[in-house]
Amino acid sequence: MHSVKDKSAFAQSALELDTSFEELERLAGQIERAELESDQDFEHVTRLLGRFSDCGGRIGAGVQTLAQELEQARVRAEKAAGLVAERSVIVQQRREASQRMLESFQALALKARGITESMQALKSQDREALLARLPEINSELDALSEDVARLEKDALAQGLKTLAKNADSMKQSLKAARERLRAS
């Protein structure tokens, strides 16, 4: 268990106020049960009344301190909520940008698959048909490679390392496909 000194100012104020309330109730009980039959009894009750009054003063001051601490805690909580709200907007924007980039990557992957399938189909055809379609496929590979490089650059700028790595892998695959096409 933490000692009072380890607690926040708000918690310390609340604990001190609670202690003062307990003491006030204890003193009230002692005053209520006190005998009033002798001078000593009157002196004892008088001392208890003085302590009761002091305790009441501490409670009044404690309530004020607790109210101030509560206000400061409220201000800190509002500041924290504001910071979190700002950060959540940034997180949402980044999530949306990431989602857009991921969708772009998936679309580029579909295009790459389409080009690869076209290349595979051409391999089964004669050499003249392959040569006739070669400029078109090269153009498609160029455009796709540029799009993938742009996506990789954007992903790196956004700190999306995995997506950038995947884009780089796709870029390398496209480069290898181009080399296979030239070798055909």
pLDDT tier at 144 (50, 70, 90 boundaries)? very high
Domain boundaries, the chain: 4-82, 94-183
| Cα–Cα distance, 72 to 69 (Å, whole number) | 5
The 10s digit of each residue's pLDDT in 156-176 is 998 899 999 999 999 999 998
User: 5 falls in which pLDDT band (50, 70, 90)?
Assistant: low
pTM of the model: 0.60
Alpha carbons 154 and 160: distance in angstroms, whole number: 9
Q: Distance between CA 7 and CA 181 in Å, rounded?
A: 72
